[in-house]
Amino acid sequence: MISHALGARLGMASLLAWLAVAATAFAKDAAPSRQALDDAWWTGPILASGASTLPKGRALIEPYLYDAKPYGVIDGKGKRRPAPDADTYGSQTYLLYGVTDTFTAGLIPRFGYRRAGGRSSSGVQLGDLTVQGQYRLTQYKPGGRTPTVSLMLQETLPTGRHDRLDTRPNDGFGSGAYATTVGLNSQTYFWTPNGRILRTRLNLAYTRSGHADVEGASVYGTPTGFAGRARPGDSFNVDLAFEYSMTRRWVAAIDLAYQRDAATTVSGVDAAGAAYERRSPVGQALILAPAVEYNFSPVLGVIAGARIIPAGRNTTASVTPVIAVNYVL
């Protein structure tokens, strides 16, 4: 079995090796010329959202498709044990519109289907819906040092099913709680020694959730006959992402992220009327997301890669293949 520390070291080693390969890929023997910004086309990395806003009247459609595959779970003693055969297929689509040149608003609907625990979801399930607004504070200018910085605000609405899952536990794709996320997104550009562009993003986000009324079996692990409420723990995420412009169309991308989830508390009574209390442990995870982009034009591109959680504290290790299409109208 791989220990948490060894898993983290392997993850970091793979990251450094990947960056070394990307930094030398497509380098030319001749003296390099500085790549122009309009010669680089981008789709964006898998995890880090862009700091720029859409021009007024323009729209963006970006559907993500993924398959979450847990390869190990952590028991109460912090030991890894084999995970059962399982897949969680899902989609998350960004539907954004430029209200003004400095303000973009939109929706992020989610859908999912799970195959696990001996009984699959009864069909494709609706997840929670997020409403997003992003206001640009500063704009990067060629030759300048000021990055593009935007303030992001999201409100996630509990549209997905989260309780009364007694006969179909794998139908649960919601939280049952409203959640507010405040984030700060930044983006800037660097030129590597061979003249190619390295686009960099640094995003910070904090999410605070309300409580969810819970009845019966739920996504919070409550038993049949339970009645009470759950309070998801607050979450903090920091994501440092790099995109290396190998050619005008081809881009190598990677996210290096850290996420901390505070304890989730559940309280109520079980079917016999006895008090039921449960508190999950704090979860922490290092997340890696290497990917490759191909851009058909400045407004249309596709990205394929994987989100990898090699180790974490009270976090299920997983490998999640991801593919997305980015289209600006």
Domain count, the chain: 1
Distance CA 288, CA 280 (A): 24
Q: Give the predicted TM-score (pTM) of the model.
A: 0.83
What is the DSSP code (8-state) at residue 101?
Answer: T
Q: What mean pLDDT is predicted for residues 86-111?
A: 95
pLDDT of residue 11: 52
Which string of b and e fits 3-27 if b means at least 16 CB within 10 Å? ebeebeeebeeebeeebeebbeeee
pLDDT-derived band at 31 (thresholds 50, 70, 90) equals: low
Q: What are the pLDDT digits (tens) for 261-305?
A: 999 999 999 999 999 999 999 999 999 999 999 999 999 999 999
Domain extent, residue 116, equals 4-328
Which segment of 31-40, 127-136, 182-191 scores lowest on mean pLDDT? 31-40
What is residue 71's predicted lDDT score, i.e. its pLDDT?
Answer: 65
CATH code for position 168: 2.40.160.40
Nearest-CA neighbor of 97 among 69, 131, 138, 126? 131
Q: Is the pLDDT of residue 79 over 60?
A: no
Of 85 and 82, which is predicted with more confidence? 85
